Amino acid sequence: MNQTSLDAEQLRAYFALTEVAGLLKHAVEQQLREVGDLSFVQFQLLARLGLGSDTGSARMTDLADGVVLSRSALTYQAGLLDKAGLVTRSPSEDDDRGVTVTITEAGRERLEKVLPGHTEVISHQLFQPLSAKDVRTLADLLSPVRDHMRSAPPRSAAPRRRRRDPE
Amino acid sequence: MNQTSLDAEQLRAYFALTEVAGLLKHAVEQQLREVGDLSFVQFQLLARLGLGSDTGSARMTDLADGVVLSRSALTYQAGLLDKAGLVTRSPSEDDDRGVTVTITEAGRERLEKVLPGHTEVISHQLFQPLSAKDVRTLADLLSPVRDHMRSAPPRSAAPRRRRRDPE
DNA sequence: TATTGTTATACTCTATAACTATA
DNA sequence: TATAGTTATAGAGTATAACAATA
């Protein structure tokens, strides 16, 4: 399975995926910035708390993993959201080392404010050319890929402290 | 067609796409940096010149559009590649305003050096869970989307000087 | 000793606006 | 006047490493 080159179809799929994701991110970022003064990462975090969680809370590490971000980068972003009053941070109940991030009412409002336009961008830019069936197919294709990538991390968020490694 | 919310399947597809693209970019960037000391954008530029062009050349604006980058950002990146000896820049033949970027021999070598590992990452991370047929389906689904997004730009790379638009 | 999170730091990258030169 | 590209600038965001506190 160790190919040394991609075939034509793979290249086509790879490039299409890359370009679509890039263009989509662009479009989304612009809308989020204009309407809600949020970056994409910040929106992802709010969405994860406000939509992806029943409690409206999550732990720092889980959030970092979810958005594929280093811990320090997450601390930075969480700090911004905190300062903006969109989330609060408090010590975790069970583990005193942990920090629980919770979306505030203002955070939910911001999310609501941004969501319609966000949805519209996604609908227009991404789903316009696709049928309902296409959408399902796409999700069915990409979901396993995501799971696979998550389980076989390229070592992004993994290692934290090297052994010695002088130099 | 102006939905105000995405249905479950759309959300699934959207999130999967976002996550896959994010994770993939992470993995790719790491490999490129380690093996070839290249960022993803720089690799894209080299690939576009070395693989996507017969002449090994392209104009600045075309490159900027291709990679979805502002002109100044492209100037910056082209400057880095130039300084590294991977491309050269010269006045365009026909249009004296233009600049033609050309990949050098060293640039091609760098590309060759990086390509196998790059391919391997893509194969492992992206295509592992997909059959040949899946790959084709994926490409068939995303290609029209890309074309659509390119033709209906969210106004990222498009306008350079607004008409009036006193906001 | 390992893990969680923060901080200090340094760096990469990006876009905006102003500018030059050519069409 | 419009377009191609560069430059200056300023800001956003990221990761690494060192650190403190808890498990």
User: For residue A77, which nucleotide's C1' is closest to its Cα?
Assistant: D13
> What's the total number of domains in chain B?
1
Q: Which nucleotides of C are covered by protein (CB under 7 A)?
A: 3-9, 12-17, 21-23
The confidence score (pLDDT) of residue B153 equals 55
The confidence score (pLDDT) of residue A156 equals 36
Question: Has residue A161 been placed in a domain?
Answer: no
Mutate to test the interface with A, among B23, B31, B45, B155 (most CBs of A within 10 A): B23
Whether A71 shows a pLDDT value over 60: the answer reads yes
Asked whether the beta carbons of B20 and A152 are under 8 A apart, the reply is: no
Question: Has residue B81 been placed in a domain?
Answer: yes
Question: Has residue B3 been placed in a domain?
Answer: no
Question: Has residue B122 been placed in a domain?
Answer: yes
Nearest-Cα residue of chain B relative to residue A157: B26
Q: Which residues of B touch A154 (CB under 8 A)?
A: 23, 26-27, 30-31, 121, 125
Rounded Cα distance, A16 and A7, in Å: 14
Question: Has residue A89 been placed in a domain?
Answer: yes
CA distance A162 to chain B (A): 17
Q: Does B112 touch chain A (CB under 8 A)?
A: no
Rounded Cα distance, B103 and B122, in Å: 24
Q: What pTM, to 2 d.p., does this model score?
A: 0.84
Q: For A68, left (φ over 0), alpha (ψ -120 to 50), or beta?
A: left
> What pLDDT digit, counting tens, does each position of A127-153 carry?
999 999 999 999 999 999 998 988 865
Query: B122 CA, C20 C1': separation in Å?
Result: 43
- Residue A110 lies in domain: 13-152
Return all residues near A148 (Cβ < 8 A) that are at least 6 apart. Answer: B125, B128, B129
Assess whether A14 (CB) lies less than 7 A from strand D.
no
CA distance B96 to chain A (A): 30
Residue numbers of chain B with a pLDDT score lower than 70: 1-3, 152-167
Q: Which residues of B touch A136 (CB under 8 A)?
A: 9, 13
The confidence score (pLDDT) of residue B74 equals 98
Question: Has residue B57 been placed in a domain?
Answer: yes
How big is chain B by its Cα radius of gyration, in Å?
19
Q: Does A149 touch chain B (CB under 8 A)?
A: yes
> What pLDDT digit, counting tens, does each position of B39-72 carry?
999 999 999 999 989 999 999 999 998 888 999 9
The confidence score (pLDDT) of residue B159 equals 38
Question: Has residue B77 been placed in a domain?
Answer: yes
The confidence score (pLDDT) of residue B162 equals 28
Q: Do A26 and B128 touch (CB under 8 A)?
A: no
Mean pLDDT across the stretch A93-111?
A: 97
Residue with tokens 């006045």: B91
Question: Has residue B35 been placed in a domain?
Answer: yes
Asked whether the beta carbons of A40 and A28 are under 8 A apart, the reply is: yes
> What pLDDT digit, counting tens, does each position of A15-70 carry?
899 889 988 988 899 899 999 999 999 999 999 999 989 999 999 999 998 888 99
Token pair recorded at residue A154 = 């390229």
The CATH number linked to A55 is 1.10.10.10
Q: Do A156 and B21 touch (CB under 8 A)?
A: no
